[in-house]
Chain A
Amino acid sequence: MKLPFKSLLAVSVIAASMSLQAMENKLVIVTSFPKDLTKEFKSAFEKKNPGLKIEMLKKKTTAGIKYIQETASNNSSDLFWASAPDAFEVLKGDSLLAKYTSPAKGIPKNVGSYPINDPDGYYTGFAAAGYGIMWNTRYLSAKKLPVPAQWADLTDAVYHNHVGMSAPSRSGTTHLTVETLLQGNGWDKGWARWKQIAGNFKTVTARSFGVPDGVNSGSFGVGIVIDFFGLSSKGSGFPVDFVYPTTTALVPANIGVLNNAPHPQAAKAFIDFLLSDQGQSILLNKKIRRLPVNPATYANAPANFPNPFKADSTIGAAVNFDVKLSKSRYNLVNSMFDVMITYRMDDLRAATKAIQDAEAANGNKEMIAEARALVAALPITEAQAADPAFSGIFKKKRKKATDKVTGRQAEVEQQWDTMVKANYAKAIEVANKAH
């Protein structure tokens, strides 16, 4: 969106004159963050600005987006504050965010290879998070399982039926983990690796918090989770631990000012506060445990606190994450994951078990390889996935009436499903014959 110079000038004059005015005494924040996090920031900010009251509206990310979209014509909220960058992309696409660049100093451009702030200036990163592996120590010792360290470890037959993850279509950060591995290992190998890992899944949870919840309870032993779920569970006393594998992506958690925010001054001041030394230090709290985006803050961090800005840090460095590529096939990747893994979990698990049994019995190598290839086979190539005409089927809306899209998502998914289901069944047959 480009504004003519005059109105830009007018806006900046108004903004300048408004900053001289007293700040509003109210601030309404729509957020998906847990109470442990919001409560600390709320009390610190209210203490700093006597007379100001913050209203935290806690909504799941998806419900938050819908709420902001539906209330836009009569907006009463100031800020949207959540993890997933894709949620902010949706709001930005609907022109529901206002530009704001904080004057805060000392924040680098990237964390790992991911830009901290929206390049167009609509939302601001205030903390970083990366995906990793979390496990329940009691569970692993009771079932005599080794502690995993890399994604590849999770393909091992010992973890069969012990791993949990949430679906990428349900959680933006899970999506980035899936995409990171696809970019790090390549399209075909990346998907093959995911199916090997997923073959060991006990469950694909519908909520992203379902994974740490399951590991904490001991419903399953190992979970693929974002770092703060693992670190804060440990901080709350659960017998769990967490590690970053080498191939992981770091993503910023964000905040953005909404269009027509009723309290814009307070909203901007809150963003500045998040990025201030005081705000960044709150992130180190043991019930919060998110990675500050200001490298200076790590000086106060407890020992062994992961620091992605350290020169020798391996976190998030292994993959040169291509944000554009990720965006172009975002919904397509989610849909493929759901069709091949989430909705065919039982079939995939059975096929994986059959292959693992054949391997354990030292079965016919060629037939095992054939069964593996059947499981790994993809309904579409990387080139097809990159074709905008094809990935457009999975887009939310057509931008213009002239944009041509042929085919419907349900139709395509049905074709994939038929192929995937038949392949899994065939793989079981082949693997059973191999020994």
Chain B
Amino acid sequence: MPELVATSPGLFPLPDWAKDRLSDQKGHQKHDLISGDEGKEIVETYEEARSEAIDRQRDAGLDLIGEGQLRWDDMLAHPLAVHDNVETRGIVRYYDNNNFYRDPVVTGDLTFDGDVAAELEAAVELRSTSRQHSSSSETAAAAETDSLQAVLPGPYSLADLATDEHYGDEAEFLDAVADFLVGEAEAFPDVETLFLLEPSLVENAPGDGVDERASEAIDAVADAVDAEVVAHTYWGALDEKVYAHLLDADVDAVGFDFVADQADNLYNINEYGATDDVALGLVNGQNTLMEDADAIRERVEWVDEQTPGADFGKAYLTANAGLFYLPYSEFEQKLQALADAASAQEVKA
């Protein structure tokens, strides 16, 4: 059995009180969404919600703690949606979900922005304050062992979600998005892991040539941080060629969505090999049906058995997709189940 590490792909739901308060503070039109220059009151609401997100993860006992991406109104398109040289236009469908985001139209150079780094700095601050002020020995102990995780859209998915009116060439645009993400990642504070979310590699699979370029783009972003990097894919399995190219990228783990597809994911691992570590999307981030810790562990064992050729050092246990699809209490229960599944091993050991 690999070492189990409890984490999540981020993109948390807002607590209900924050949904209510932001509804009053922000309004309901598309220009009311997060733009990167929100006012003091709104900043404070998100700050409070971020603090709660960190506490929830810590209470649950996750090994890797994210800042929650609560400001990401446009989901994975967020880093572009707040950029000065990007115009947000019509509301468009988010993959084949019944969710919508503002079409980010790139109209100028994708220069350094720093929005995601600032969120992580805020999380670093909150984590250290929480550690100093923690009265509960349990929370304080947890604070000593858990580590910070960053989340970014993978370059291929971010380019796929955006519209280019500046670079003019698909390949050039993908490189520009990758360069942009490199700059953003270089500005991060120290993080233990970086999850690069790449659902578009599944949903809108790159064809010949583009698959290789997508892998090189991921490689570039991965090299920008001194952290473990997970390229997490979901909503199905990768085409085998896309997977084979992805293995060329210098990432520590590839993430697989075992909720959406088991057979093709296993096939890819067994046929093409795998990274040293792996991320297992075993908890359904889009259904209120609860998985318990035992069931999650059984699935880990099952994957381990079914991939005799692979010898994973670490397995990141995670939800398949971002957790904003869930009501708040179900989101909390899913985090708990993931943490319990990983910690059962620690107790046994």
Tell me whether A and B are bound partners.
no
- Which B residues fall within an 8 A CB radius of A? none
- Which A residues fall within an 8 A CB radius of B? none
